[in-house]
């Protein structure tokens, strides 16, 4: 049994992340650890010779009460009993990254209780995105856009189709393996995508220098095929394209 760590802060995106983590854990038979990090200033760095108690004194109880309320609101009291709770007095990105070391997955909301409305990702999810050493799921509370709005008729639900980008690197191969395993759990189709473009012989793309794009496309196709052929695609309930 592995561990899924999910950040909880009482926001709508945080509640969506909590629900997603619980559903994912049910698929994988993993346990869920809900983490609530509080405090704008790290312990021991208040300045002016003032320091914080490492345990943050009785405030831990208040923070745990906030975490309990957020979990109950997100998944209900029946499901909440099976979720492990952790309250840490530290900056949220630091606490989440440390707690998720060795975990199967880290789950956070796209934006927390702060931030500007126009930002797609909040500061916590951005920090986790750039520094995590484990797979990361960033969950939004809003539903995905209607695919018919851009002429795309294929389903976009995560339970039906998983898109994975590859470039031949080791990290891309890890992403491919994760996507295939996730698709097995969800009985989903997998789309493997490798993007390529014609190289420019001069700084301007409008210089008119002839480029044999077929050669470039053929090489890109070989990169894609090597990644797909290197994975065990047996027992696949849905196709890999």
Instruction: Give residue-wise pLDDT tens across range 83-135.
Output: 999 998 888 899 999 999 999 999 999 876 554 443 445 688 899 999 999 99
Please enumerate in sequence order all residues whose Cβ is within 8 A of that of 6, keeping only pairs 6 or more positions apart, or say none: 17, 18, 21, 32, 33, 34, 35, 106, 107, 108
- pTM equals 0.76
The answer to whether 192 touches 240, Cβ cutoff 8 Å, is yes
40-91 per-position pLDDT tens digit = 554 444 444 545 445 545 457 888 888 999 999 999 998 999 999 999 888 8
Distance CA 182, CA 176 (A): 10
Ramachandran angles phi, psi of 60, nearest 5° = -60, -40
Residues in the chain: 241
Distance CA 34, CA 96 (A): 10
- Helix, coil or strand: residue 218: helix
């Amino acid at each position: 049994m592995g561990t899924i760590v999910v950040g909880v802060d009482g926001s709508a995106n945080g509640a969506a992340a909590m629900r997603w983590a619980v559903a994912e854990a049910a698929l994988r038979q993993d346990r869920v650890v809900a983490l609530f990090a509080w405090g704008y200033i790290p312990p021991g760095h208040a300045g002016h010779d003032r320091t914080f108690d490492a345990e943050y004194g009785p405030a831990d109880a208040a923070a745990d009460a906030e975490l309990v309320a957020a979990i109950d609101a997100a998944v209900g009291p029946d499901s909440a009993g099976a979720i492990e709770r952790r309250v840490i007095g530290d900056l949220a990105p630091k606490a989440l990254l440390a707690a998720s070391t060795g975990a199967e997955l880290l789950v956070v909301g796209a934006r927390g209780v702060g931030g500007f409305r126009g930002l797609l990702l909040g500061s916590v999810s951005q920090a986790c995105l750039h520094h995590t050493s484990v797979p990361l799921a960033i969950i939004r509370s809003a539903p995905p856009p209607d695919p018919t709005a851009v002429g795309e008729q294929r389903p976009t639900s995560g339970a039906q189709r998983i898109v994975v980008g590859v470039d031949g690197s080791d990290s891309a191969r890890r992403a491919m393996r994760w996507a295939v395993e996730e698709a097995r759990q969800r009985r989903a189709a997998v789309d493997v995508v490798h993007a390529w473009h014609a190289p420019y012989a001069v700084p301007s793309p409008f210089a008119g220098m002839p480029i044999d794009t077929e050669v470039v496309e053929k090489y890109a196709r070989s990169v894609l095929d090597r990644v797909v052929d290197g994975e065990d695609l047996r027992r696949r309930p849905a196709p890999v394209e």
